[in-house]
């Protein structure tokens, strides 16, 4: 009998609603009243004593799984004369079936991204001892979270493969179109069963059709309809990969999930460029992929033209450019005269950020500019001749005076908003960051004291996660990158000089390398790799090109961060939640740093003397928005973290991500946004003064890192 709303299971799990039901049980959304978190409760009805023992054995094995593309099993219990129950993570978001039905077109990149994510989960499952076979991969069992993560759910048909075992007493059901022929009869099922089901799922994504049933294909003249016969836009290479995974004989399919994943990534290198990524896949920052211009692929996707632009274009076409320019000049003069009248009348403006601008005298202006005299009219007319990068010239309120940008506020010339008269954070306050303002994400630099910004990478597949060499002359980053994510499947590490020259690719990874962190002595780069399907921390030695794994393989681990003296690495380990741990650079002496309970933490960074680690933490469990926290190293292993936020805005919750402490210890840079709005780079004087906005652009700016002191 289905459980009704309000039922309390095991004196702990309060049923909220039924999510689905089948012949062997049901799945419910519930609240864990002990922890106050949402969970999924899977109910299985008793069939036989042997089945009950098998279910219990499998429940215990599943409870030990830890992988970012799999839900966690949190609890298992039996209620006599009623059923057995598994309690798992409740995964927010749509399932892939709903996603396919809602979208008119699914791009190849989306298919490959989802396929490789599920392959990662299968690599992990199939490598367990004993191996675990899912046996029910289909669109309805793949969830895409609001953050764009791909999660394989529903282990109702899972099989634990014991040595010498042909079949098991676990459920032997099938889904027409998605199940291989061996799943219909007495033939053994193994890891290649999952290869077929995943291939069928990707086939459905590309064609919006379920492939022909495998049993009919095996016993009659029914053949699989080629992918390109349904969707001719699919590349031949990807179509071939999908069709190979759907071979009737399991000997003819890919033999491992690793092999299938490698084929998908190889197809990605040859996939078309004219594709648009759904903004749900890969988080809210995932933007457009490269487009095709003629026969040349370019990474700069054009932005949609605004209504204002189209209106101006219409006017130009109607009256001609010369007359439009004449009227534009008259309008500009009227605005300047009106602004001046307001200013001299004592009326002052306030910006949307509530940043107050003060009037300066000509002597003040001379002192700041370093010039002996200044001609205000010359300053206004010099804008077109300035050498400030394009991104700064595009700001309508910015004027150029040599290398010192100036602005107009209420009719007066004022200096740029400087948080301090001294240099910021080393190297005159230079930050590297990621921005998608030119299309795909690329690495940019910002000179804070000069208020100038410029782009240094132009990777056709995007660039993310910059990290400085200790001398400040090079950056390491990752590509491909189509948006900000926690996992970058298929990415590799690259280095580039600060002037944008001398691009080098480090040893490539088929699976994905990301989260680079350059050691303080300049000889090693720590990073996260998906080499074995599970995120683990590795070291790349720049001297002898050797690679060493520091993780022990028991937990997903990522986001390494060097202490400033190079003797320790902080990193994120996922157990019941994401936690900060510490280890030596050789992987020894591993211990937990922060006690955050069920709240996920991320992005650890050390301050200048290694006395404090700054990081992000969820506001509450299940809420994706982060706040910035700090904790003294001397409090390791204790619950002693404190929030870092602007001291003059204590009543406002700031969503602050990806912190990085400046080399002089005075500032912390971070990504800030409000209520899901535009992401920009801000800095804050420790512990909470002088909140200052650094980037102002309609694109998303994130992942700031300070250039080291010279």
Residues 6+ positions from 108 with CB-CB distance below 8 Å: 206, 234, 235, 238, 267, 268, 271, 272, 275
What pLDDT, on the 0 to 100 scale, is given for residue 432? 96
Please check whether residue 1 lies inside any domain of the structure. Answer: no
What pLDDT, on the 0 to 100 scale, is given for residue 128? 84
Do 554 and 576 fall into the same domain? yes
Distance CA 150, CA 198 (A): 13
Nearest 5°: phi and psi at 328? Answer: -65, -40
pLDDT > 60? residue 19:
yes
Confidence of residue 250 (pLDDT cuts 50, 70, 90): confident
Residues 6+ positions from 158 with CB-CB distance below 8 Å: 58, 62, 132, 133, 134, 135, 136, 170
Do 138 and 266 fall into the same domain? yes
Q: Which domain holds residue 305?
A: 289-349
Residue at a domain's end among 43, 60, 89: 89
Which stretch of 268-272, 397-401, 430-434, 589-593 has the lowest confidence by average pLDDT?
A: 397-401
What pLDDT, on the 0 to 100 scale, is given for residue 571? 97
Which residue, 226, 213, 71, is CA-closest to 153? 71
What pLDDT, on the 0 to 100 scale, is given for residue 395? 34
Confidence of residue 201 (pLDDT cuts 50, 70, 90): very high
What pLDDT, on the 0 to 100 scale, is given for residue 421? 44
What pLDDT, on the 0 to 100 scale, is given for residue 391? 33
pLDDT > 70? residue 313:
no
Do 364 and 463 fall into the same domain? no
Do 676 and 607 fall into the same domain? yes
CA 76 distance to own-chain centroid:
32
CB atoms near residue 54 (< 10 Å) = 18
Tokens of 46: 């008793």
Number of Cα atoms under 13 Å in the Cβ half of residue 139: 22
Confidence of residue 131 (pLDDT cuts 50, 70, 90): confident
What pLDDT, on the 0 to 100 scale, is given for residue 156? 55
Please check whether residue 144 lies inside any domain of the structure. Answer: yes
Sign of CA dihedral 194, 196, 202, 207: negative
Q: How far is CA 158 from CA 40, 58, 115, in A?
A: 17, 8, 19
Do 638 and 567 fall into the same domain? yes
Do 525 and 664 fall into the same domain? yes
Residue at a domain's end among 260, 283, 306: 283
What pLDDT, on the 0 to 100 scale, is given for residue 367? 37
What pLDDT, on the 0 to 100 scale, is given for residue 380? 32
Give strand pairing partners of 528. Answer: 514, 537
Specify the pTM.
0.53
Please check whether residue 181 lies inside any domain of the structure. Answer: yes
Do 75 and 108 fall into the same domain? no
What pLDDT, on the 0 to 100 scale, is given for residue 400? 32
Please check whether residue 425 lies inside any domain of the structure. Answer: no
Whether residue 554 contacts residue 590, with contact meaning beta carbons closer than 8 Å, is answered with no
Distance CA 387, CA 403 (A): 8
Please check whether residue 17 lies inside any domain of the structure. Answer: yes
Which residue, 128, 125, 121, is CA-closest to 142? 121
Confidence of residue 314 (pLDDT cuts 50, 70, 90): very low
- 583, burial (CB in 10 Å: exposed 0-12, middle 13-18, buried 19+): buried
pLDDT > 50? residue 299:
no
Tokens of 447: 């000179």
Distance CA 247, CA 181 (A): 10
pLDDT > 70? residue 283:
no
Do 105 and 220 fall into the same domain? yes
**Percentages (nearest 5) of helix, strand, coil residues in the chain:** 25, 30, 50
DSSP string, 125-190: HHTSSS-EE----SGGGEEE-TT--EEE---TT-EE--TT----SS-----TTTS-GGGTSSS---
pLDDT > 70? residue 644:
yes
- Tell me how many domains the chain contains: 5
Summarize pLDDT for 599-633 with one digit per residue, the tens.
Answer: 889 999 999 999 999 999 988 766 667 889 999 99
- The predicted model gives 46-62 an average pLDDT of 71
pLDDT > 80? residue 331:
no
What sections of 634-704 are H helices per DSSP? none
Do 667 and 633 fall into the same domain? yes
Distance CA 575, CA 67 (A): 9
Please check whether residue 596 lies inside any domain of the structure. Answer: yes
Confidence of residue 154 (pLDDT cuts 50, 70, 90): confident
Which stretch of 133-137, 162-166, 473-477 has the lowest confidence by average pLDDT?
A: 162-166
Q: Across all residues in the chain, what is the average pLDDT?
A: 76
Q: Which residue has the higher pLDDT, 427 or 524?
A: 524
Please check whether residue 421 lies inside any domain of the structure. Answer: no
Distance CA 289, CA 291 (A): 6
- 11, burial (CB in 10 Å: exposed 0-12, middle 13-18, buried 19+): exposed
Please check whether residue 674 lies inside any domain of the structure. Answer: yes
% of residues, the chain, pLDDT over 90: 37
Tokens of 295: 């026969």
Confidence of residue 187 (pLDDT cuts 50, 70, 90): low
Summarize pLDDT for 349-392 with one digit per residue, the tens.
Answer: 333 333 333 333 333 333 333 333 333 333 333 333 333 333 33
- The predicted model gives 402-416 an average pLDDT of 43
Which residue, 307, 303, 271, 309, is CA-closest to 287? 303
- The predicted model gives 436-456 an average pLDDT of 90
Do 321 and 190 fall into the same domain? no
pLDDT > 90? residue 572:
yes
What pLDDT, on the 0 to 100 scale, is given for residue 114? 92
Do 345 and 363 fall into the same domain? no
Summarize pLDDT for 483-494 with one digit per residue, the tens.
Answer: 888 888 889 999
Q: How far is CA 679 from CA 341, 617, 700, 703, in A?
A: 35, 18, 5, 10
């Amino acid at each position: 009998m289905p459980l009704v709303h309000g039922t309390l299971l095991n004196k702990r799990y309060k049923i909220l609603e039924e999510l689905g039901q089948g012949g062997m049980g049901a799945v419910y959304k519930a609240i864990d009243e002990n922890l106050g978190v949402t969970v999924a409760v899977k109910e299985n009805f008793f069939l036989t004593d042997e089945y009950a023992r098998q279910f219990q054995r499998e429940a215990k094995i599943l409870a030990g799984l830890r992988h970012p593309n799999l839900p966690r099993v949190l609890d298992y219990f039996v209620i006599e004369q009623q059923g057995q129950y598994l309690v798992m993570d409740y995964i927010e978001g749509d399932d892939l079936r709903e996603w396919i039905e809602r979208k008119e077109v699914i791009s190849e990149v989306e298919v490959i991204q989802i396929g490789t994510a599920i392959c990662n989960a299968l690599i992990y499952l199939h490598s367990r001892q004993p191996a675990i076979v899912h046996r029910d991969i289909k669109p309805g069992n793949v969830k895409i979270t609001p953050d764009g993560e791909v999660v394989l759910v529903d282990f109702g048909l899972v099989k634990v493969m014991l040595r010498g075992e042909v079949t098991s007493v676990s459920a032997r059901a099938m889904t027409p179109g998605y199940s291989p022929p061996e799943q219909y009869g007495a033939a053994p099922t193994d890891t290649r069963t999952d290869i077929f089901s995943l291939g069928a799922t990707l086939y459905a994504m590309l064609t919006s059709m379920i492939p022909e049933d495998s049993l009919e294909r095996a016993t009659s003249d029914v053949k699989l309809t080629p992918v390109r016969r349904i969707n001719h836009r699919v590349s031949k290479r990807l179509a071939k990969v999908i069709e190979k995974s759907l071979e009737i004989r399991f000997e003819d399919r890919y033999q491992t999930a690793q092999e299938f994943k490698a084929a998908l990534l190889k197809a990605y290198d040859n996939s078309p460029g004219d594709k648009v990524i759904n903004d749900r896949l890969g988080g809210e920052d995932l933007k457009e992929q490269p487009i095709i211009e003629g026969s040349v692929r370019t990474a700069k996707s054009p932005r949609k033209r605004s209504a204002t632009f189209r209106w101006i274009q219409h006017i130009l076409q109607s009256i001609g450019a010369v007359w439009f320019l004449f009227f534009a000049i008259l309008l500009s003069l009227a605005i300047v005269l009106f602004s001046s009248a307001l200013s001299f009348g004592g009326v002052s403006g306030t910006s949307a950020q509530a940043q107050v601008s003060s009037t300066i005298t000509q002597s003040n202006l001379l002192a700041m500019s370093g010039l002996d005299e200044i001609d205000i009219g010359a300053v206004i007319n010099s804008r077109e001749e300035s050498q400030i990068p394009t991104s700064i010239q595009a700001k309508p309120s910015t004027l150029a005076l040599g290398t010192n940008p100036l602005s107009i506020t209420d009719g007066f010339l004022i200096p740029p908003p400087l948080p301090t008269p001294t240099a910021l954070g080393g190297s005159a306050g230079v930050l590297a960051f990621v921005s998608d303002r030119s299309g795909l994400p690329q690495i940019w630099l910002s000179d804070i004291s000069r208020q100038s910004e410029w782009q240094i990478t132009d990777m056709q597949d995007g660039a993310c996660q910059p990290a400085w060499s200790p001398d400040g002359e090079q950056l390491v980053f990752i590509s491909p990158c189509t948006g900000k994510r926690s996992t970058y499947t298929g990415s590799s590490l690259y280095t580039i000089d600060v002037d944008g020259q001398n691009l080098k690719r480090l040893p490539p990874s088929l699976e994905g390398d990301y989260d680079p962190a350059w050691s303080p002595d300049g000889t090693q780069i720590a990073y996260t790799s998906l080499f074995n399907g599970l995120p683990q921390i590795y070291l790349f030695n720049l001297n002898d090109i050797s690679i060493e794994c520091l993780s022990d393989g028991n937990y997903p681990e990522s986001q390494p961060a060097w202490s400033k003296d190079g003797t320790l690495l902080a990193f994120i380990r996922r157990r019941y939640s994401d936690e900060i741990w510490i280890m030596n650079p050789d992987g020894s002496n591993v211990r937990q740093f922060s006690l955050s309970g069920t709240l996920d933490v991320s992005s650890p960074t050390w301050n200048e003397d290694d006395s404090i680690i700054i990081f992000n933490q969820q506001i509450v469990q299940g809420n994706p928005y982060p706040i910035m926290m700090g904790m003294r190293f001397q409090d390791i292993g204790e619950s002693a973290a404190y929030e870092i936020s602007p001291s003059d805005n204590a009543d406002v919750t700031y969503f602050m991500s990806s912190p990085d402490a400046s080399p002089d210890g005075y500032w912390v840079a971070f990504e800030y946004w409000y209520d899901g709005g535009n992401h920009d780079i801000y800095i804050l004087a420790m512990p909470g003064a002088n909140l200052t906005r650094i980037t102002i652009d309609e694109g998303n700016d994130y992942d700031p890192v300070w250039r080291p002191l010279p």
